[in-house]
Every structure is written in structure tokens, then in C-alpha cells.
Structure 1
Amino acid sequence: MTLTFQLDPQIGPALRDDVLALWADVSNAGGAVGFVPPVTTEDIRPELVRHLAAMAEGRTRLLVGRDEEGTVAATAFFTYNQHRLQKHYIWLYTVMVHPRYQGKGYGRELMDAAADAARAFDGIEAIRLTCRGGTGADRFYAACGYKEVGRVPGAIRVAPGDDRDDITMLLPVA
């Protein structure tokens, strides 16, 4: 089984709720997507609203991966740089695969689809992303072709006494 990807899907209540549910499920399974468990969809909703507002302004784009039943199984958000000297690369944020699909190659499919999408964006030469140290995400992204280009030790405080590195990675796409 593979995922079907769509860039810039029409956002309606059903998709919004599916993304919220995915984000909560990923967070509660320990995924490093901006929250620490336990969280509810209501905890996540304000962050999704910020993403949706940026989409409406043309600053952010959404890539959705659906399974054979049409269920949202994976997402990634692209955010354009606003600084005039950094418009040649795009940021990839909130990269998620539902926990029930992890270990089945869907993460790799999502990253390949993201790279393919970025190659079609006008003037984009690379994708940058950050990930939380101590999760293994950096090894996954490296296996997808990303190179570590920066690290800030202890920049992410997951809990008192649990600080993680903020790792920046880059994938050339041009």
C-alpha cells in the first residue's frame, strides 16, 4: 500500500479536523511536532489556525498524504522565506506520519513527495528543516538525503531537565 499525495488541497472542515487528529495522535505517540504529550486537538488548534492563516496569505503550502481509504495519513507544511536574501530555499515543518503507519515506508514516501513538490516551486534550490535531537529524526532525514548543517545544543526544552538539540538539516533540490 502506498500513499496518494496532494499539494495545496482545498481546506474544509473535514480536512482541518483530520489534520488536527493526525497532529494530536503523532504528538501523543511521542512525535516531535511542536508539542509534548498529552495534548488534545484543542491544544493544537491555535497552531493549525496559524498555519492556515499563512496558507491563506500564500506564505505556506500543505502536502497531504492519504491512504487507500482516503484517510489523512501524513502531512508536511512548506513555508517560504520572507527575507529577500533567503528566497532560494524553503522550510519544511510539521512533518507527520500517523503512528499506525510508521515503519511501513510512508515517511520516506512523504519526504520524496516533499522533495518532488519543492523541485516544482519557482526559484527553490533547497529544503531546510529542523528536528529535535534525541528522537532519531536526524538519522531518518539523513537517510532521505538531508545533511546536518547546524545544531544548537539544548535549544529545545521538552521538560525541566530535558533539553534537546535543535538540529538544522538541508536537502538540495535544484
Structure 2
Amino acid sequence: MTHESVPAFLEIIEGREMSSGLRRELVECWVTVTNAGGAAGFPFPPVSFDEVAVVADRLIAGLDPERSRFLLALVDGTLAGWLNVRRSVDPLIAHWGTVHHLQTHTGFRGRGIGAALMRRVRQVAREEMGLEQLRLAARGGVGLEDFYGRLGWKEIGRWPGALRLAPGDDRDEILMMLDL
């Protein structure tokens, strides 16, 4: 990662902390990533700002310091990438969290933003949320298991053909974990 792309991190732990400008940037990032073919929660591009805003607003409304937070990467004050980390309220599994929606804006790809977010979420999950393990599910066929593997994540299973992107284009859903 070059010096000019070293991100500053911002955690949003309550919905009221999300400014309208930051919300707009987050939704625009999500639209851009999805419409560029990214595995970001909307499997069938194209998506519109309004479609994504509904889902983003639900995530924002569910933010809670103990259960769900956004981790944003900013480069020169511009949103370069983000993710959501959550834990269940179920006491049987409250010691682990799940990473959702890791995204790097297409204008910042190749600069290490995604890797930086994943390194930072490891620290946040352990030190601030008290988690012992993180999990995620990734779309097969796009090299994500290699990306996460380089960051210490282990593949723990697959659901073969679980994701049908188009007729004849079934992908595995790859289950991964990281001990903190």
C-alpha cells in the first residue's frame, strides 16, 4: 500500500453517528461495487441507489455498540471502503462475530484498502467488541478465499452450488473463520 492510500478508519457504532453525506457515500460505494460485479450482497446487478439505500438504512438502524458496527476506510476524507461486523444476541454464540459486505470502492482498488479493513476489523472485534472469533461467507469462483487466506482466515466448509447467479452459473458459498 502506498503512503497516499493509507486509510484513516472511522467506526460508526450508532445510527445517529452516520451523517447524511457519509450515508450517501456508503450507498454510492455499494451501488458502484455491485454494478461492477462485486459480491457485495446484491447478486443481480444493476442496482439503483434507492434499492441499496433501503438495505443500508436497515443496517444503519441496527447499529449498536455491542452488536453491530460499521468500519469505514477513508482516504483524504473520501470513503474508500467499508464493512459491517455483527454479533448475535444469542448467548450461545455471542463470543463470535460475522463480517458482512467488505467493499472497496472501484476507484480505490489495488491499493490494499480491503486488506487494511480486514486487519483493522480483527483488532476492533477482539479489543473493542470482546469477540474470540470472526466468520464470513464468500462467493466462490472469484478468488476471495485466496484473498482472505492471505490474511489468516481458514476455509472451514463450502455449500456447493449454493449461489445461482444465472442459469448454469452456480457458485459455492465458502465458509471461513478467523481466531482472534
CA contact (8 A) 1:7 1:117 kept: no
Q: What is the alpha-carbon distance in structure 1 between the residues aligned to residue 130 and residue 157 of structure 2? A: 23
Q: Deviations over 1:19-57 (max 9, x none)?
A: 000001111111101113211111211211221121159
Q: What is the alpha-carbon distance in structure 2 between the residues aligned to residue 160 and residue 43 of structure 1? A: 24
CA contact (8 A) 1:65 1:110 kept: yes
Identify the match of residue 27 of structure 1 among 30, 34, 42: 34
Q: What is the alpha-carbon distance in structure 2 between the residues aligned to residue 141 and residue 88 of structure 1? A: 21
In structure 1, the residue matched to 2:73 is: 65
Q: CA 1:58–1:121 in 2, change beyond 3 Å: closer, same or farther?
A: closer
- Count of residue pairs brought into register by the alignment: 172
Unaligned runs of 5+ in 1: none
3-state SS of the aligned residue for 1:110?
helix
Q: CA 1:117–1:58 in 2, change beyond 3 Å: closer, same or farther?
A: closer
In structure 2, the residue matched to 1:49 is: 57
Unaligned runs of 5+ in 2: none
Deviation at 1:93, TM superposition (A): 0.2
In structure 2, the residue matched to 1:171 is: 178
Deviation at 1:113, TM superposition (A): 0.9
3-state SS of the aligned residue for 1:135?
coil
Superposed, which structure 2 residues align to 1:91-130 within 5 Å? 91-130=98-137
Deviation at 1:109, TM superposition (A): 0.8
In structure 1, the residue matched to 2:8 is: 4
Q: Which amino acid aligns with 1:124?
A: L
Q: Deviations over 1:109-141 (max 9, x none)?
A: 111111111111343101111110011111101
In structure 1, the residue matched to 2:149 is: 142
Q: Deviations over 1:52-94 (max 9, x none)?
A: 12115953111011002x0111101011123221111100001
Identify the match of residue 90 of structure 1 among 89, 97, 100: 97
